[in-house]
Amino acid sequence: MKRWLIVSIAANLIALAGPGTRAATAQGAAPAPPTNLTVADHPWDNGDSLDLKWELSPDDASLLNYQVFKALGQIGPVNQSPLEFELVGRVPPGTGEYQVSHVPAEIEKSVKDMESHRNLFSDPPLPEDPRKKVKLKVSYLFRVVAVAKDGAPSTSATTTEPFTPTREWFMGNRFSLSIITVIFCGAVIFWINRARKGKPIKVRKIAGLEAVDEAVGRATEMGRSILYVPGTQDINEIQTIASLAILSRVSKTAAEYDAKVEIPVARSLVMATARETVHAAYLAAGRPDAYNEDLIYYVTDEQFGYVAYLQGMMVREKPATCFYMGAFYAESLILAETGNSIGAIQIAGTAMPAQLPFFVAACDYTLIGEEFFAASAYLSGSAEELGSLKGQDVGKVMVAVLLLLGVLMATIATMADNATLQDWVTYLKEIILT
Amino acid sequence: MKRTIPLLLAMSAGFVMIVAFFIPATLTWGEKVSIWFDILASIAFILGGGNLLKVQLKKISDKTAGWGYSVITVVAFLVMLFVGLTKFGVNPNPAFPAHGHWAGQYNEIGSPFWWLYEYMFKPLQATIFAMLAFYVASAAFRAFRAKNFEAILLLVTAFIILLGRTAAGVFLTDFISADSGFQGLRLENFTGYIMDVFNTAGNRAIMIGIALGTASVSLKILLGVDRSYLGSGEE
Amino acid sequence: MAQLMTLGITAAFLILLTFAVISWTNFFKTIDRRWVFLLMLFSVAVPVYVIGKTKQTFPEKALPLAQAVFDEIEKLNEGDKVLLAFDFDPGSEGELGPMATMFAFHCATKKLKMYFIALWPLGRQMIDDNIEKVIKPDFPEMIYGEDYMNLGFKAGNEGVINVIVTDIKQLYTTDAYGRDINQIPMMEGIDNIQQMDLILNVSAGFPGTKEWVQYAVTPFPHQIRLVGGCTGVQAPLLYPYIPEQLPGLLAAIKGASEYESLVIGKYGGDGISGKYLEAQRRMGPQLVAHVLMVLLIIAGNIIYFVERTREARP
């Protein structure tokens, strides 16, 4: 009787002490491990991502995190030395998956920049980027461990067979972007072809560009020079290239009017390119004798050194017309106000949103963002270039449609608390627009 | 030929960059193209430096107006170049005693290069930047006119932001309780709302247009439609 | 009542201004811009002088974002580890210097362990300035290597963040002064910045708070906590990250001033050194300069309307 009582009390105590209380009952007790750990190749990637999945530990609610480890898999004859697992990541409780992921190209580039700047004499070689956790053609084994709040680890769930990631031929996370790119580029090419076939393209008047001839003529009448500033960035900046396209037209007009165009630049490559551009413009205008390459010269890369030079030059030489076309930063207002103080007519164009207000306030004409990129097509009047503007409008329509769609869906999803719409909104935000 | 080869180079480099973005096997090609540009830009420094000397020395020899500034430019350029390249006044690196001062840091604290940078370059840089405050005032006086409805809206917004960013804004609307339903009308909160909503919306609209314009210009250059960077736009 | 009086005075002043501008329209219309520059000079210099002499500043009321920054640091206990990332240069010292100083002061007052780092080349000098200005004179009991240390600048922009977020010692083998990092007591047991209890970032551009959010907080949202300060121009770009990835943000000198008022209010006391009042002091010139710009805009518009009326008359 006594024995039966002891056993039944013990059984009741064991029944009461269920799995959820195991970790709470003894300090430092190991939690139950996760189970059924599987690894699969991440689809449509560069072969440096793997997806791990596991079933949550029964003690999930009382965990600190799950820790994921990797080791190089053994291929060929069995190696007797123990595997070395290294920690690659931690995930919070409730998460039964982990992507051992690649590093975005931008970070890889930064790490390489860092490598190029390190002191060869004193700094050690940089480690392999720690987030580049798997490599193509290399096999791996994985292990997941549940860690309790007091730090006690569980036994591990380990994959049994080494797994090798594979590279697909296309980056899946950029699929939506590729579709949008194809549609947009297709539209531009379509309209360029249509324009080539003679379809007239109407473009609205842009005041700043209409004033270019007037501005150049003014400089000729006053016998003073034209100052052209192609921005402060290098030739790999698209705004600089757009600026040089406008420079070509301005130089041609100046050559025809016999006006002097001075082009101090902040980058050496821009100087070289600008010289070619201006020379060709003078040739096209039939005035090769008037071309003077010394009027296109390098000043300094340093932002405020460059603008200080321009200020001094503007105050001394008092150009009649100033063009500011390209990428600018804080120097925009300094240039515009100085030009205003000398009574020059000023035409500016930039795609830097933060600088546009300064140019709008201080210059006579400003090309805002898109207008600046359209300027080359506008000034040349070439049917093909104007056709590309039309194709650009297709892109705008796409953006407008996506915007309206997204806003409507998000609004209705929130008001109606509709899960399907919420999912669509999430898909739009995180897949299509990423 | 003079224009065909650069055109083909530009087209192929551009398309490689686009393809590399989408096709994993070609990811490193895009990086190589970027590195080629870095090499070109580095070599171009010599070109730029040489041109700077040539232009400024010509101004000095011709005694054109402002040639004194050219003297200062040339002297400053040569001094910084000499001090930096020769690591003038830099202490040797104790880890590499055999190399003398060449193994030291060119911008070591206390070195002449550091001194020129700290006490000449940085104050001058800050001075030019500070001039913006004066130019903003003169631009505000000269250019902000209520010529039409949009300009009036802009001016009112400017007043709200200018005052809201200072103690005056807080003081003027302090009578509106911070817990009331009208607390959004307190100038400091209203300022934040204008920046968060209207300013961000306007910025984004401009940025969308800029992004589309950038893509279009890039495509025109890649397809060879716009060849002005090579020279004339005419065949 | 005070607001009504202020409005009354302002209205009277504006009426006077209007009369003056109308009476001397031609003078104001053709005024040399150097008079405007002179007015701006006085509007900045006079408050700086008056505030410097009287030690009085305008009262500041902390808005929620500045309060959040203050609260995040207040939550920490003595000995907790803080990474202070000073990503700015002398060009933005006007806006960001005071907040960097206050971060150092607040952390030192709470006896937190401070690890200084910079992603901008000139950020290193900003760190040295703050150590010389705050820690050495006002907290002489703090020992370098035990209570604070300077890791200095490393090139690589967001790549640096990406590396130190999992392994700091591979990248930083020495501190900014060339001392072996393994010999520094407060680096013992520190493998990466996830072990920091808080990251304080002062940012003037790229790389800055946005990169810290993207490459430190986003991949490790439960391990890394970040608050920061930035220039006024950058602030709208960072609002989308508030409050999840960025619980608090000091936007420009206004944010710095609000934060400063909170810190001084709790830890300042009478006779606090002027260097800890810089943000509030700079609000004085900012206020006067902004008011000057408002008045200039009004004056300019009065001239415009007077001219228009005169032209409309037959």
Please write the tens of the pLDDT for every residue from B175-206: 888 778 888 888 888 888 888 788 878 888 88
Backbone φ and ψ for A163, nearest 5 degrees, come out as -125, 135
User: In this model, does residue A81 exceed pLDDT 70?
Assistant: no
What are the beta bridge partners of residue B125? none
**Interface touch A110/C170, C-beta < 8 Å:** no
**Most confident of the following: A61-70, A87-96, A267-276, C56-65:** A267-276
Structure tokens at A63: 């965990």
As a whole number of angstroms, the distance between CA B174 and CA B33 comes to 58
Contact between residue B187 and residue B159 where contact means Cβ atoms under 8 Å apart: no
Which chains contact B through at least 3 pairs of Cβ atoms less than 8 Å apart? Answer: A, C
**Interface touch C291/B137, C-beta < 8 Å:** no
Q: Measured between CB atoms, which of C3, C37, C293 is closest to B171?
A: C3
Chain A, residues 79-138, CB within 8 A of chain C, namely 90, 92, 103, 106-107, 109-114, 117-118, 122-124, 126-127, 129-131
C125 reaches A (C-beta below 8 A) = no
User: Which residues are CB-contacts of B174 (< 8 A; sequence separation ≥ 6)?
Assistant: B186, C3
Instruction: Choose the weakest-confidence range: A353-367, C144-158, C230-244.
Output: C230-244
Which chains contact C through at least 3 pairs of Cβ atoms less than 8 Å apart? Answer: A, B
The type of residue at A100 is V
**Interface touch B231/A276, C-beta < 8 Å:** yes
SS (H, E, C) chain C: CHHHHHHHHHHHHHHHHHHHHHHCHHHHHCCCHHHHHHHHHHHHHHHHHHHHHHCCCCCCCCCHHHHHHHHHHHCCCCCCEEEEEEECCHHHHHHHHHHHHHHHHHHHHCCCEEEEEECCCCHHHHHHHHHHHHHHHHCCCCCECCCEEEEEECCCCHHHHHHHCCCCCCCCCECCCCCEHHHCHHHCCCCCHHHCCEEEEEECCCCCHHHHHHHHHCCCCCCCCEEEEECCCCHHHHHHHCCCCCCCEEEHHHHHHHHHHHHHHHHCCCCCCHHHHHHHHHHHHHHHHHHHHHHHHHHHHHHHHHHHHHHHCC
Peptide bond into C64 cis (omega under 30): no
**Interface touch C159/A123, C-beta < 8 Å:** no
**Most confident of the following: A43-57, A319-333, B167-181:** A319-333
**Interface touch C162/A110, C-beta < 8 Å:** yes
Coil, strand, or helix at residue B46?
Answer: helix
As a whole number of angstroms, the distance between CA C189 and CA A249 comes to 64
B2 reaches C (C-beta below 8 A) = no
**Mean predicted confidence (pLDDT) in A115-120:** 59
Check residue A281 and report its DSSP letter. Answer: H
Nearest to C169 by CA among C184, C157, C148: C184
pLDDT value at residue A275:
94
Mutate to test the interface with A, among B228, B234, B235 (most CBs of A within 10 A): B228
Chain B positions in Cβ-Cβ contact with residue A302 (cut-off 8 Å): 125
Chain C positions in Cβ-Cβ contact with residue A332 (cut-off 8 Å): none
**Mean predicted confidence (pLDDT) in A35-53:** 87
As a whole number of Å, the end-to-end CA separation of chain C is 46
Check residue B231 and report its DSSP letter. Answer: S
As a whole number of Å, the end-to-end CA separation of chain B is 12
Chain A, residues 349-378, CB within 8 A of chain C, namely 354
User: Which residues are CB-contacts of A31 (< 8 A; sequence separation ≥ 6)?
Assistant: A22, A23, A57, A59, A62, A63, A146, A147, A148, A152, A154
Instruction: Tell me what percent of the residues of chain B surpass a pLDDT of 90.
Output: 23
pLDDT value at residue A109:
58
Largest CA distance in chain C: 87
- Closest-CA residue of chain A to B203: A353
Nearest to C159 by CA among C122, C212, C114: C212
C308 reaches B (C-beta below 8 A) = no
- Closest-CA residue of chain A to B68: A312
**Mean predicted confidence (pLDDT) in C148-174:** 84
Chain B positions in Cβ-Cβ contact with residue A353 (cut-off 8 Å): 203, 206-207, 210
User: In this model, does residue A257 exceed pLDDT 80?
Assistant: yes
Mutate to test the interface with B, among A331, A337, A346 (most CBs of B within 10 A): A337
Backbone φ and ψ for C218, nearest 5 degrees, come out as -60, -45
Which chains contact A through at least 3 pairs of Cβ atoms less than 8 Å apart? Answer: B, C
**Mean predicted confidence (pLDDT) in B204-210:** 87
**Interface touch C296/B141, C-beta < 8 Å:** yes
pLDDT band at A74; cut points 50, 70, 90: low
As a whole number of Å, the end-to-end CA separation of chain A is 72
**Interface touch A124/C170, C-beta < 8 Å:** yes
Choice between A90 and C87, residue whose per-residue pLDDT is larger: C87
Contact between residue A31 and residue A57 where contact means Cβ atoms under 8 Å apart: yes
Mutate to test the interface with A, among B216, B227, B235 (most CBs of A within 10 A): B216
Mutate to test the interface with B, among A176, A331, A370 (most CBs of B within 10 A): A370
As a whole number of angstroms, the distance between CA A181 and CA C188 comes to 51
pLDDT value at residue B58:
94
pLDDT value at residue A21:
35
Chain A positions in Cβ-Cβ contact with residue B219 (cut-off 8 Å): 185, 188-189, 388
As a whole number of angstroms, the distance between CA C175 and CA A266 comes to 36
What are the beta bridge partners of residue A65? A147
Nearest to C85 by CA among C191, C202, C216: C202
As a whole number of angstroms, the distance between CA A318 and CA B144 comes to 25
User: In this model, does residue B37 exceed pLDDT 50?
Assistant: yes
**Interface touch A370/B124, C-beta < 8 Å:** no
CA distances from A256 to A228, A287, A429, C294 (A): 17, 7, 52, 46
User: In this model, does residue C134 exceed pLDDT 90?
Assistant: yes
Cβ pairs A/B, distance under 8 A: 212
Chain B, residues 157-186, CB within 8 A of chain C, namely 158-159, 162-163, 165-168, 170-175
Q: How many CA atoms lie within 13 A of C186 on its CB side?
A: 22
A294 reaches C (C-beta below 8 A) = no
As a whole number of angstroms, the distance between CA A246 and CA A85 comes to 59
* Average pLDDT of chain A, as a whole number: 82
Mutate to test the interface with C, among B118, B141, B153, B165 (most CBs of C within 10 A): B141
pLDDT value at residue A111:
60
As a whole number of angstroms, the distance between CA A121 and CA B93 comes to 9
Instruction: Tell me what percent of the residues of chain A surpass a pLDDT of 90.
Output: 37
Contact between residue B185 and residue B174 where contact means Cβ atoms under 8 Å apart: no
**Interface touch A294/B232, C-beta < 8 Å:** no
Q: Measured between CB atoms, which of A304, A313, A353 is closest to B128?
A: A304
CA A227 to chain centre: 33
Chain A positions in Cβ-Cβ contact with residue B229 (cut-off 8 Å): 241, 244-245, 273, 276-277
Choice between B228 and A10, residue whose per-residue pLDDT is larger: B228
Structure tokens at B138: 């003169």
> What's the gap in Å between the CA of A153 and the closest CA on chain B?
38
**Mean predicted confidence (pLDDT) in A384-413:** 88
**Mean predicted confidence (pLDDT) in A262-276:** 94
**How confident is the model over A178-216, as pLDDT tens digits?**
888 898 889 988 888 888 888 777 888 888 888 998 999
Block residue for tokens 């590195």: B35
Peptide bond into A200 cis (omega under 30): no
CA C260 to chain centre: 9
> What's the gap in Å between the CA of A396 and the closest CA on chain C?
23
pLDDT value at residue A9:
38
pTM, full prediction: 0.79
Cβ pairs A/C, distance under 8 A: 59
Chain C positions in Cβ-Cβ contact with residue A131 (cut-off 8 Å): 162, 166, 219
User: Which residues are CB-contacts of A4 (< 8 A; sequence separation ≥ 6)?
Assistant: none
> What's the gap in Å between the CA of C77 and the closest CA on chain B?
31
As a whole number of angstroms, the distance between CA A316 and CA C122 comes to 34
Largest CA distance in chain A: 123
- Closest-CA residue of chain B to A264: B52
As a whole number of angstroms, the distance between CA C21 and CA C72 comes to 51
**Mean predicted confidence (pLDDT) in A143-161:** 88
Contact between residue C258 and residue C63 where contact means Cβ atoms under 8 Å apart: yes
Coil, strand, or helix at residue A370?
Answer: helix
Going across the sheet that includes C148-153, the strands are C148-153, C113-118, C81-87, C198-203, C226-230, C249-251
B62 reaches C (C-beta below 8 A) = no
CA distances from C39 to A335, B155, C297 (A): 21, 21, 14
User: In this model, does residue A130 exceed pLDDT 50?
Assistant: no
User: In this model, does residue C7 exceed pLDDT 60?
Assistant: yes
CA A76 to chain centre: 43
pLDDT value at residue A330:
84
CA C212 to chain centre: 17
As a whole number of angstroms, the distance between CA A316 and CA A342 comes to 9
As a whole number of angstroms, the distance between CA A50 and CA C99 comes to 43
> What's the gap in Å between the CA of C79 and the closest CA on chain B?
31
Q: What angle, 0 to 180 degrees and rounded to 10, lies between the N-to-C axes of helices A268-284 and B27-62?
A: 80
Largest CA distance in chain B: 75
pLDDT value at residue A80:
47
